[in-house]
Structure 1
């Protein structure tokens, strides 16, 4: 038989646990499934390894998805997961194709670049005319860089160069290494690994192409954003704010504790430490939230993607509809 003193003591301890802020938050907010790309380069790795959603009261289940973004989008569309990180352009494409999603926040600025083979004799973007350029043609990075080059330099990478179609970033690296192409259009951390090995040089970064094409000296166009399925968001509207807060915490670790950030990214991506270190230094900007000025920049991105054919829906010409239907601001 349990003594009265032990009963009272255990009851007080149980009550203390039940009333602890973290316990109440976790019980109140419930479970969330967050999946992200292994090479997403968005800070989601840090949210995962530091369980930053857990620190904001969620019982979070994280999963890492290797390879191309298509399967990850399918996971969200089929409601196997509640939230994902995703290319902003592909998020817009999925939205106009009917996937029930909302953009709840941003994660990282554009990651793309044109890398020239070191001995190819290329020094300007214009020098690419007539040259062999490897690209994964269906990716948002290729479409974005093609549109920005057309708008900023007046020539079409798809028509005015000899495009060599690759199926994945490693294929482009191989082609460049064998000197079968003069340049590649890729994104971090693949671009940085090529430069680190001494096989290529940065001909143009996507952020610089953006500044030239748009004339916008400030602000950051976005490569990766966060998406939440509409059904989950309707039932759990607080996830938008908490996911943004978790991303903000991840950004603080990225800039405030670089050694820890690099350790986490290396663990998730399985890339060599020296590649991650170079890619870390070359990263344009880690981002979080969905402030007004960021939304304005995102709307410009959508307009350009519509102008040059990647996006088709008329919604991208209506900023009010975009704000109301595509974004969710906590």
Structure 2
């Protein structure tokens, strides 16, 4: 009887050791997944964690594009129009999911038509500026009707606070920080609803077709879907730490930001069309991308 109990005791210990080994030791064949993004903007990546995932934040879109092309980055979260720019040359790059609807804003005004004759600060090399120009044209104004002050995002905030400009064009988390201070604003998504009758996607997840054939791809996509579903619970604490935000700023941001599930193709195409109207990409490229951009996995 004692011998039998000892046997079961050892078998139980062996089973526990095997379970621990399975959990601790990396699964055979699993490789590190390198995720790229642009410095300074929010996404569901901010609440994604895994010991097999490495995050690289780039200062320049060109550097991220080249890293994707060379295979140094497996998957990235970028703006929809930035994807179009990248995919113009890299035909192996696919959109695998949407992440957020447009959350950019014009800070300092209540109606876009107020901008006539005003000094507007913007980062003119960005896709966001192209979107702004498209909305400006839809409102009946044009770039000729405003005085453009070109500067990086943080310098734009300083210019607004010094009243060197009348309004600035920006994105999260800068937009919510300024709105929380009481600045008037016009949201891009509201302009889209007014002029287009739909809500364009701002951020998309993209990956090389070669990565999507790896076993890690399925696990990564599932993790991203969990992050999207848990955004409301987990984002406030994560964003506070990452972007040094107050409770009031977080409250504004959580009301403004809308996470997207799945792959709403028409809302991504709407973003491309705005970028084209603003001169960021060509109309012909959009037609080409409609046939090859979206992952069908």
Alignment size in residue pairs: 291
| 2:138 is equivalent to residue 109 of structure 1 | no
Could you tell me how far 1:246 is from its partner in structure 2? 1.8
In 2, Cα distance between equivalents of 1:78 and 1:107: 24
Quick one: which of 212, 219, 224 aligns to 2:194?
212
Corresponding residue of 1:274: 247
Does the CA-based 8 Å contact 2:176-2:253 persist in structure 1? no
Structure 2 unmatched ranges of 5 or more: 1-5
Q: For residues 14 and 278 of structure 1, do their structure 2 counterparts lie closer, same or farther at Cα, with a shift above 3 Å needed?
A: closer
In 2, Cα distance between equivalents of 1:101 and 1:228: 6
Q: Secondary structure at the match of 1:223?
A: strand
In 2, Cα distance between equivalents of 1:273 and 1:26: 40
Could you tell me how far 1:72 is from its partner in structure 2? 2.9
Structure 1 unmatched ranges of 5 or more: 52-58, 117-121
Corresponding residue of 1:46: 47
Could you tell me how far 1:237 is from its partner in structure 2? 6.6
| 2:76 is equivalent to residue 76 of structure 1 | no
Alignment of 1:171-250 (within 5 A): 171-198=155-182, 200-202=183-185, 204-216=186-198, 220-233=199-212, 235-236=213-214, 239=217, 241-250=218-227
Corresponding residue of 2:293: 326
Q: Secondary structure at the match of 2:220?
A: helix
Per-residue displacement from partner, 1:285-317 (whole Å, max 9, x unpaired)?
A: 012321xxx112212322333344321262412
Per-residue displacement from partner, 1:244-289 (whole Å, max 9, x unpaired)?
A: 422221122222x2xx4222122233x2333651443333301232
Alignment of 1:2-41 (within 5 A): 12-13=15-16, 15-16=18-19, 26-27=27-28, 29-41=30-42
Q: For residues 237 and 178 of structure 1, do their structure 2 counterparts lie closer, same or farther at Cα, with a shift above 3 Å needed?
A: same
Quick one: which of 150, 155, 160 aligns to 2:141?
155
Does the CA-based 8 Å contact 2:80-2:201 persist in structure 1? yes
Q: For residues 12 and 191 of structure 1, do their structure 2 counterparts lie closer, same or farther at Cα, with a shift above 3 Å needed?
A: closer
Does the CA-based 8 Å contact 1:134-1:165 persist in structure 2? yes
Q: Secondary structure at the match of 1:27?
A: coil
In 2, Cα distance between equivalents of 1:38 and 1:305: 21
Per-residue displacement from partner, 1:64-84 (whole Å, max 9, x unpaired)?
A: 416444433333223222111
Per-residue displacement from partner, 1:23-65 (whole Å, max 9, x unpaired)?
A: 89943544311233443311111113xx3xxxxxxx6222241
Q: Secondary structure at the match of 2:99?
A: strand
RMSD: 2.9
